[in-house]
Amino acid sequence: MRAKDTEKSTVIRALLSDITYHEKDKSTKNFAKTNDSCVIPILQRAQQKRFEAAEIFERGNRAELTAAERAQAAIIAAYLPTPLSDPEIETRIDAAVAKCGGSVKNLGDIIKNIDIDFVATPKNKVLELARKRLS
């Protein structure tokens, strides 16, 4: 913020506002802004909002607003952990399959035994790759 990067400071202020809102919201229990597993989903939602807004602006032929939203999404991406690649996920799935057995009936046990942080890597992607591996 001291570097006078107005776009970055605007995005950071918006993120801090979202985090503070969730911290004060009575429906979110056990929220701690010092815990990454609580903050990362908020950042992911904010990034998704920017992507959706960019798509809408692109359909409306608003190139300058599309570029601004994508730039904001890139700023947010700098604060998110990098998700695992497909080969890394498949390696961990193979290890869990070796431990639990390789049938579709054991899918729940396999997912429980996979050593993956589901906050950083989407669970639906892991499920998709696990089903593909077991079929």
- The pLDDT tens digits of the residues spanning 64-98 come to 999 999 999 999 999 998 888 889 988 988 888 88
What type of residue sits at position 134? L
User: What one-character DSSP code corresponds to residue 106?
Assistant: G
Ranges of the chain whose pLDDT falls below 70: 1-3, 32-34
pTM of the model: 0.72
pLDDT value of position 124: 84
Q: Which residue has the tokens 């990362």?
A: 40
In the chain, what are the helix, strand and coil shares in percent, each to the nearest 5?
Answer: 70, 0, 30
pLDDT value of position 2: 67
Please state the separation of Cα 13 from the chain's center in Å: 19
